[in-house]
Structure 1
Amino acid sequence: MNKFIRLFAAFTVVLLIVETSYSQPERQTTKVGTTVAQFLKIPAGARSIGMGGSAAAVEGDIYSIYWNPGALARMRTTGEASFNQARWIADIDYSFVAAGLTVDGFGTLGLSVTSVSTPEEVVRTEINPEGDGRVWKYNALSMGLSYARSLTDRFSIGFTAKYIREGIWDMSSQGFAFDIGTIYMTNFNDLKIGASISNFGSKMRLDGHNISFNNFPTGDQGQGPQNVESIYKTESYDIPLTFRIGLAMDILRMENIRVTGAIDATHPNDNAEYINTGLEFAFNELVFARAGYKSLLLDQTEEGLTWGFGVNFPVTNTTGVKVDYAFADFGRLKDVQYLTVSITY
């Protein structure tokens, strides 16, 4: 067991080294607005969101695939398929679909798809401020393939490889990224320690029809080279790398009652550090109530209180249906509500 404790410590140090190489030079420089593919930061899973997004060390369902792929190996069932939907800020439509299956002697495989889109808007120009007959919209997609394995009954590790695409009108950008995470259950009241890095990958750059134009190098259409095909050079930008480390523990466990507490420290490469914390109350593992607080210690944020509930409907001894709801307060941006429906098998 000491070997795996050392392995967990070494792995966490590696994560810290990688994260530090992308960290802010100063606390005052938050680098807000310097990364692309911001949709990757929209949280997934009503259970985790109801607990304030404190999910790095929380195990038990398919949504570990988003927060910490190492915890995917510790799903409570052999398999799970789930759909998460939300109407995000500014009428942005957000969907997350995930499925996982544990194969004896091999590990747990997972698949996830994130989809984000905006309503269609008319194209406005200086000449046609009310619209020129064309429409545009933003859309984004991420597809991930995950693998997780328990190396012992207390230590698990997992990985996700994903493809990322963003598009706006006839412009698009593409990239690839990896998530890596681990979770360790200690001997102290089964306290769990989780650590993960999300979105470690390539930079992304917009490309498409709108960067092409016809140039007249001399500035005079009657002299010199005429109608030279040219393109605008677009810059490449990082994607939102995020490092999480968290603790979770059952702070109360009775015959039919369980209360789990969790806390995460999060360090993104495009903002200052912050803390998420939350609680989950379970009655007979059938009815759940949750509450949490997001983005503690972050100076400028509209995020804050979260809460939610869930119901588990057993169908057979090995299958069931779970329905979870979460509410997240966004201050002046109003609120966002999430609905998750899962099938366990």
Structure 2
Amino acid sequence: MNKITTLLFAVALVWGVTESAFAGNPDRQGEAGAAQLLLNPWAESAGLHSMTTSFVSGVEAMRINVAGLSRINKTEVQIGHGRYLEGTDILLNGLGVSQKVGESGAIGISLMSVDFGDIPVTTTDQPGGTGSTFSPSFFNLGIGYSHTFENKISVGVLFRGVSESIADVNAFGFALDAGVQYVTGENDNFKFGIALRNIGGRMQYGGEGLTTQGPSPNNGGYELTFNQRAADFELPSMLNIGLSYDFLITGGTHRITVLGNFTSNSFSQDQVGGGIEYSLKDFFMVRGGYRYEFGAGDADTFDDPIYTGLSAGATIAVPLGKDTPESRASRFAIDYAYRTTRVWNGTHNIGVRISI
């Protein structure tokens, strides 16, 4: 497949996902559920406020832009942990594996869960608590595939199952992600990406927890069990468009990457932002970014967002072999990120990954 054909294919896919994403109605802001799909457990991309649409790769691509899944050496394993809004005791946990398939493709699987801790059980008769606790189970499992054409254009698709439940109430749904990445320039300096995320059917809660006991009609003298139907809800679909440029200094020993990103949310305000990342031989990286949410500060219309917009992070990578002209050396890396918040004490992310 020549470059013109692959470029036309990518443009067609981009056009299709763009048309779908901008079909949302801004009057529906705040009506979506399954907010866990908006949370990021991976520290490397969190350090840039998840704005790495144009160059994210490997396991993290399954959360940001699945097209980057195939831009790995051979195999990548990653574990992520986040302390969401420090002080709320909400934890994020992620586990993912990506594996090269053939010369240009890759398949991956990722699992993310949200830990809310133990929540006291309260009732109308005992509003102070019954003495027992419960813990909601929120998790999502994604399986994705990506293919790179001539090392320039990558396309990918991911299917994700979404589950939210407590002991007697649950909801389950499916979501679809699709994305494109394009790389060009003398040293592949310029990168462009577009990703459509969380497209799927409506979800609805059900289970015994929604039933109530009540008297039978017409004074029958006995009680009946009534099932209450919960309202269904949509997934928080979004469209991400990003670009970046790598400035290579002294033959690539030092790399400075600048990036920009725009996010169109179907059920919340749109966002725009940018960031910068410095890398020393890909052994040490430090990064920071700022993301602005439209409507922030307009007290007459919108509440201020939780995040103030600032983010920062760092990576230390230890080589496990030698770089060769054919492939990049295996690496063990530790990532950390912090995002400031208007209330509570920010969100911390830490993760480890092995690339071979």
Q: Same fold (TM over 0.5)?
A: yes
Decide whether the 8 Å contact of 1:147 with 1:160 is kept in 2. Answer: yes
Match of 2:37 among 27, 37, 40: 40
Over the aligned positions, Cα root-mean-square deviation in angstroms equals 1.8
Residue in 2 aligned with 1:198?
A: 197
Residue 250 of structure 2 aligns to which amino acid in structure 1? Answer: M
Decide whether the 8 Å contact of 2:258 with 2:277 is kept in 1. Answer: yes
Residue in 2 aligned with 1:213?
A: 212
Match of 2:230 among 214, 229, 234: 234
Residue in 2 aligned with 1:149?
A: 147
Residue in 1 aligned with 2:343?
A: 332
SS at match of 1:21: coil
Partners of 1:187 and 1:288 in 2: CA distance: 22
The answer on 1:343 being equivalent to 2:343 is: no
Residue 321 (structure 1) shift: 0.6
Match of 2:20 among 9, 18, 21: 18
Residue in 1 aligned with 2:5?
A: 3
Partners of 1:196 and 1:23 in 2: CA distance: 19
Residue 336 of structure 2 aligns to which amino acid in structure 1? Answer: Y
Residue in 2 aligned with 1:98?
A: 96
Equivalent pairs: percent with the same residue?
20
Structure 1 residues 197 and 101, CA, compared in 2 at 3 Å: closer, same or farther?
same
Decide whether the 8 Å contact of 2:41 with 2:92 is kept in 1. Answer: no
The answer on 1:284 being equivalent to 2:281 is: yes
Decide whether the 8 Å contact of 2:43 with 2:349 is kept in 1. Answer: yes
SS at match of 2:282: coil
Decide whether the 8 Å contact of 2:264 with 2:270 is kept in 1. Answer: yes
Match of 1:115 among 113, 116, 120: 113
Residue in 1 aligned with 2:326?
A: none
Residue 253 (structure 1) shift: 3.5
| Range with bigger deviation, 274-283 or 316-325 | 316-325
Residue 170 (structure 1) shift: 2.3
Partners of 1:201 and 1:58 in 2: CA distance: 25
Structure 1 residues 57 and 205, CA, compared in 2 at 3 Å: closer, same or farther?
same
Match of 1:301 among 298, 302, 305: 305
Partners of 2:28 and 2:271 in 1: CA distance: 12
Residue in 1 aligned with 2:166?
A: 168
Partners of 2:203 and 2:60 in 1: CA distance: 26
Residue in 1 aligned with 2:321?
A: 316
Decide whether the 8 Å contact of 1:145 with 1:161 is kept in 2. Answer: yes
Structure 1 residues 251 and 302, CA, compared in 2 at 3 Å: closer, same or farther?
farther
Residues 93-112 of structure 1 deviation map (CA, whole Å, 9 limit, x = unaligned) = 11111110112246101010
Partners of 2:25 and 2:354 in 1: CA distance: 39
Partners of 2:274 and 2:295 in 1: CA distance: 13
The number of residue pairs the alignment matches comes to 336
Residues 262-281 of structure 1 deviation map (CA, whole Å, 9 limit, x = unaligned) = 11110111101111321110
Partners of 1:211 and 1:302 in 2: CA distance: 31
Residues 55-92 of structure 1 deviation map (CA, whole Å, 9 limit, x = unaligned) = 110134421111000111112x2111001101112111
Match of 1:124 among 118, 122, 138: 122
Residue 47 of structure 2 aligns to which amino acid in structure 1? Answer: G
The answer on 1:254 being equivalent to 2:287 is: no
The answer on 1:65 being equivalent to 2:62 is: yes
Partners of 1:59 and 1:132 in 2: CA distance: 47
Residue 153 (structure 1) shift: 1.8
Residue in 2 aligned with 1:179?
A: 177
Instruction: Name stretches of at least 5 consecutive residues in structure 1 with no aligned partner.
Output: none
TM-score, length-scaled by structure 1 = 0.92
SS at match of 2:59: coil
Partners of 1:59 and 1:231 in 2: CA distance: 46
Partners of 1:310 and 1:106 in 2: CA distance: 27
Instruction: Name stretches of at least 5 consecutive residues in structure 2 with no aligned partner.
Output: 297-303, 323-328
Residue in 2 aligned with 1:74?
A: 71
Structure 1 residues 105 and 319, CA, compared in 2 at 3 Å: closer, same or farther?
closer
The answer on 1:83 being equivalent to 2:79 is: yes
Residue 213 (structure 1) shift: 2.0
The answer on 1:245 being equivalent to 2:241 is: yes
Residue 225 (structure 1) shift: 6.8
